[in-house]
Amino acid sequence: MMAADMNVLRLRAQLLLRRAGAPACCAVALLVLGAGAWVWAWQQRAVAAQLEARPLPLPPLAVVAAAPPATSSENLARFYAALGQQRHAEQQVKLLFDLAAKNGLVLAQGEYKSGYDKAGRIATYQVSLPLKGSYAAVWQFALQALRAMPFASLDELSFRREQIADPTLEARVRLTLYLSDAAGVAP
């Protein structure tokens, strides 16, 4: 009986649609869609009004005592404290050789040049190292050297390969160590 009632309802709906015509059916569909859109917009407006009425939570105010800015003499003292010691320059070069061996690099000998800036009272020790090994090992060596010696700068890093297919390459790494003299650093 249920299937027969459904068939009757379907038949009546088809007859009603044919009597009303296509333009009337489109008008009714648009009317239903418009009413649905209006109801949806009204609900969204109500939600927005609720959100606006609710006060926003305030972020917790952290009481932080701002440190006074450092004076120029304090900054200068920090600078000199970050420098390496000139009397340990040979130990720093030994550290470079150890890092090269640790990374599997071949290091025959290096070139060394020392200098001194009288105005800044800073000694420099420039180390130029010819290395042989893989590209990744050379970069790893350079990064480890800079981490181990924060007072060093990487001035040059160049690569050369005899043939494209060679797994090893020749590299030249030039580092400058910035050192304080042992006599005293405060100008």
Residues 37 and 96 in one domain: no
Q: Is there a domain that residue 63 lies in?
A: no
Mean pLDDT across the chain: 85
> Which candidate, 135, 136, 126, 134, places its Cα nearest to that of 96?
126
Residue range of the domain that includes 106:
72-180
Give the residue, 154 or 187, on which the prediction is more confident: 154
Distance CA 153, CA 135 (A): 20
* pLDDT at residue 176, as a whole number: 94
Tell whether pTM > 0.85.
Answer: no
* 86 and 48 fall within a common domain: no
What pLDDT shows up at residue 15? 83
Tally of domains within the chain:
2
Q: Are residues 91 and 176 in the same domain?
A: yes
Residue 66 lies in a domain: no
> pLDDT digits over 10-27, tens only?
888 888 878 888 788 788
Q: Do 46 and 124 have their domain in common?
A: no
Q: What is the pLDDT of residues 57-68, one digit of tens each?
A: 766 766 666 778
